[in-house]
Structure 1
Amino acid sequence: MDDLSGITVLVLDDEQMVRENLEAFLEDEGLNPLTATNGEEALTVLAKNEVHVGIIDMRLPGMAGSEFIVKGHKVSPQTRFIVHTGSTNYKLPREIRDCGVTHDDVFIKPLADMNIVMEAIHRLVNQGVSNT
């Protein structure tokens, strides 16, 4: 799937500036971004929409990003996840790896080049297509 139009990406981040910047970038790239400020809100978005990829912050108020990914994977097993964290020493826990997230899907904030996120979205969407 080379054309990413029609691809829905969930941005889960409690920082308004990060969330809005990602949303604007994804729109500029022709994707359909949905946003959430916390895990509970994101689970509702996931349950009501076909989401192809989620860009998930790890440090969130309430439900942590890792807990969201585990719950989100159960709600929407076809959704692929990208970890977007400010923690420079982030270690990918087993429960996240069990949801299909790999070290290639982990990005440390701030990103100097947003194109690597697009490459990851492209790779994950294509994996989803080839796995079905």
Structure 2
Amino acid sequence: MSDLSDVTMLILDDEQMVRENLEAFLEDEGLKVLTASNGEEALNLLAGGAVDVGVVDMRLPGMAGSEFIVKAHAISPATRFIVHTGSTNYKLPRELRAIGITHDEVFIKPLADMQIILDTAARLLGRSA
């Protein structure tokens, strides 16, 4: 069990299987998990309460993941973000680097081991996984 039992994570991905798999893994680790399939839904969840870490896909219907992160950061500057994308040639845009996201928080789907998401969330929050 991790030192993250009081942490709330938001999973924003339009692929239901990805959301469900990450949600199940993180809940098994004791985290509270919120899920959304698009940026608008995720912004509503964020406005409803504190989210510690968001795991965000970049290619989404409607609002792109990078646009969501910029808007979410404006609403909740303390929220940290992990990029989880299927784009193998993904380049971290300037606006995401400007709010502190580094290449260490970018992961390409599919992940061989979801533990890396948990470990990265813990590092971002200064905790142990």
Same fold (TM over 0.5): yes
Could you tell me how far apart the structure 2 residues matched to 1:100 and 1:39 are?
Answer: 20
Could you tell me how far apart the structure 2 residues matched to 1:36 and 1:116 are?
Answer: 21
Could you tell me how far apart the structure 2 residues matched to 1:99 and 1:19 are?
Answer: 25
Report percent identity of matched pairs. Answer: 72
Amino acid at match of 1:123: R
Amino acid at match of 1:91: K
Q: Give unmatched runs, 5+ long, in structure 1.
A: 128-132
Give 4+ residue runs of structure 1 displaced > 2 Å after superposition: none
Q: Is the 8 A contact 1:55 1:82 kept in 2?
A: yes
Q: Is the 8 A contact 1:69 1:99 kept in 2?
A: no
The residue number in structure 2 matching 1:123 is 123
The residue number in structure 1 matching 2:95 is 95
Q: Is the 8 A contact 1:35 1:42 kept in 2?
A: yes
Could you tell me how far apart the structure 2 residues matched to 1:52 and 1:125 are?
Answer: 8
Count of matched residue positions in the alignment of Structure 1 and Structure 2: 126
Q: Which is further off, 114-123 or 54-63? A: 114-123
Could you tell me how far apart the structure 2 residues matched to 1:57 and 1:99 are?
Answer: 17
Could you tell me how far apart the structure 1 residues matched to 2:99 and 2:32 are?
Answer: 23
Could you tell me how far apart the structure 1 residues matched to 2:10 and 2:116 are?
Answer: 17
Q: Is the 8 A contact 1:55 1:84 kept in 2?
A: yes
Which residues in structure 2 correspond to 1:1-132 (within 5 Å)?
A: 3-126=3-126
Q: Is the 8 A contact 1:12 1:54 kept in 2?
A: yes
Q: Give unmatched runs, 5+ long, in structure 2.
A: none
TM-aligned CA deviation for residue 115 of structure 1: 1.1
Could you tell me how far apart the structure 2 residues matched to 1:105 and 1:48 are?
Answer: 25
Could you tell me how far apart the structure 1 residues matched to 2:48 and 2:100 are?
Answer: 22
Instruction: State the SS of the aligned residue for 1:99.
Output: coil
Instruction: State the SS of the aligned residue for 2:43.
Output: helix
TM-aligned CA deviation for residue 66 of structure 1: 0.3
What's the TM-score once normalised by structure 2's chain length?
0.95
Could you tell me how far apart the structure 1 residues matched to 2:49 and 2:57 are?
Answer: 20
Could you tell me how far apart the structure 1 residues matched to 2:49 and 2:107 are?
Answer: 24
